[in-house]
Amino acid sequence: MKYHLRLPGFPRDLIALHNFADGYAGISAIEEDKLCFCYLTTRQNLRQHGTIPAMEQAVLARNPRLREILSSAEVLYPQPEVINEISFAPKQPVEQHVLMCGDAAGLITPLCGNGMAMALHGAALAAAAAHDFLSGSTTRAGMEAAYGQAWRDRFGTRLRVGRAVQRLFGGPVLSEPGGGRAAALARGRAGADAPHARPGVLS
């Protein structure tokens, strides 16, 4: 789910991550005086509450920081942009002898960002592997093996880290008042002990 917002006073050099039950939200400054506010949740969460506003009120707003954003921001879209059917499950860089690039080879979790750069880098790796094959310096099997290895070397770790970090989000205990030690721990891990502290906030 994605919105552009205006929220006077929100720091322009801050990327904040906020937890809620079965999801998490990110907010950061973009062009002009706007903010981009995106969140990821499960279809089940939406089904259970019927509509997006009802889910936001019932689930996201239980996190005080999200409640503050949802209640005080000026929303610049008539409706949020919604994308569904996203899977972060591992995929293969070579599928039925086809070299896969970008999201087709592996979707990185939004926490890590950089999906566009990965798509461009993956295309460069595929072009180099295809060049070796087409110029006769390797076999088809050699090209596929070389590309698969190069892709895993370049992106494997960050995809694994992204999936692992994403698993830290989505539990209600971190986001609700009284989450207590867990919430403090989460803030400490994010290197921030106060709302709007730099370089990032996790609540």
Choose the stretch contacting ligand FAD; rule: CB under 6 A; options: 9-17, 100-108, 140-148, 177-185: 100-108
Q: Count Cα neighbours of 182 within 13 Å in the Cβ-side half-sphere.
A: 13
Q: Could you say whether residue 114 binds ligand FAD (CB under 6 A)?
A: yes
Is residue 197 near ligand FAD by the rule CB under 6 A? Answer: no
* Best CA proximity match to 41, nearest among 91, 71, 84: 84
* Smallest distance, ligand FAD to C-beta of residue 101, A: 6
Q: Which residues in the 44-83 window bind ligand FAD by CB under 6 A?
A: 83
Residue 116 in contact with ligand FAD, rule: CB under 6 A: yes
Q: Which residue from 62, 80, 103, 190 is in contact with ligand FAD, where contact means CB under 6 A?
A: 103
Q: What is the DSSP string of 134-186?
A: HTTSS-HHHHHHHHHHHHHHHHHHHHHHHHHHHTTSS-GGGTSTT-THHHHHH
Q: List the one residue from 75, 94, 119, 190 that touches ligand FAD (CB under 6 A).
A: 119
Say whether residue 2 binds ligand FAD (CB under 6 A). yes
Taking CA atoms, 113 is separated from 56, 102, 139, in Å, by: 23, 13, 35
> Which residues sit at the interface with ligand FAD, rule CB under 6 A?
2, 83, 102-104, 113-117, 119
